[in-house]
Chains A and B, each alone.
Chain A
Amino acid sequence: EDKVVQSPLSLVVHEGDTVTLNCSYEVTNFRSLLWYKQEKKAPTFLFMLTSSGIEKKSGRLSSILDKKELFSILNITATQTGDSAVYLCAVEGLNQGAQKLVFGQGTRLTINP
């Protein structure tokens, strides 16, 4: 059975700190790994990773994938209170010819001023 495990489940830091969120996975027919940020309602897309060792960057956020060790990290530098959210990691496997995302439990990140 496909499985995605995120750690830590919860993290509280001060504004300005740097955080690293972890995601490990086991999935058959791996296609990609995605990171989402969920505040109150809809998860919003952050990154999609398909190749090992290539860092994706967007402002203060960056992410990298290791397909050999089956994990990914999401880094946030110079954190701000607006970064407080649940960060979801999802892995895409190919199932019956269609994309299927399996989500991890999420990391609840709280940034204190």
Chain B
Amino acid sequence: DTEVTQTPKHLVMGMTNKKSLKCEQHMGHRAMYWYKQKAKKPPELMFVYSYEKLSINESVPSRFSPECPNSSLLNLHLHALQPEDSALYLCASSQVVQGQTYEQYFGPGTRLTVT
């Protein structure tokens, strides 16, 4: 099973709303990632969690707040977003064995529109 699931598939929110994106994997992967992808652009890394601890934050604005409640789940809490935050948000996970990280598997993404 090489599946990463994300919910919801689509989300429309106003600039004053609070919402959360969810990501789940059951492959035993200990590294999980959030990416943002704008149209016709490559994915841009936002956050990396390794063994449930935040290890990379790519200077993401505080209106995006990640959370890793356990080794299978990754959330992205959204608050006071701007229209330019509209994008496809991708979650990924990868296996870590003796410090070696392997290929990342991506979820289908959440298409976010901020109005």
Contact = CB atoms under 8 A, between A and B. Distances in A.
* Chain A complexes with chain B: yes
Contacts of B48: 98-100
Contacts of A104: 42
B109 A98 contact: no
Contact of B42 (A48, A97, A99, A103): A103
Interface residues of A, number: 24
A43 interface: yes
Interface in A45-88: 45, 48, 88
Contacts of A36: 106
Given A41-B109, A43-B106, A100-B56, A92 B88 contact: no
B50 interface: yes
Given A41-B109, A98-B55, A34 B103 contact: yes
B22 to A, nearest CB: 15
Contacts, number: 57
Contacts of A99: 31, 48, 94, 101, 104
Interface size bracket, B side? 20 to 34
Tell me the dominant secondary structure on chain A's binding face: strand
Contacts of A106: 42
A29 interface: no
Nearest to B53: A98
Given A34-B103, A42-B4, A106-B42, 5 more contacts: A36-B106, A48-B103, A99-B48, A101-B33, A105-B41
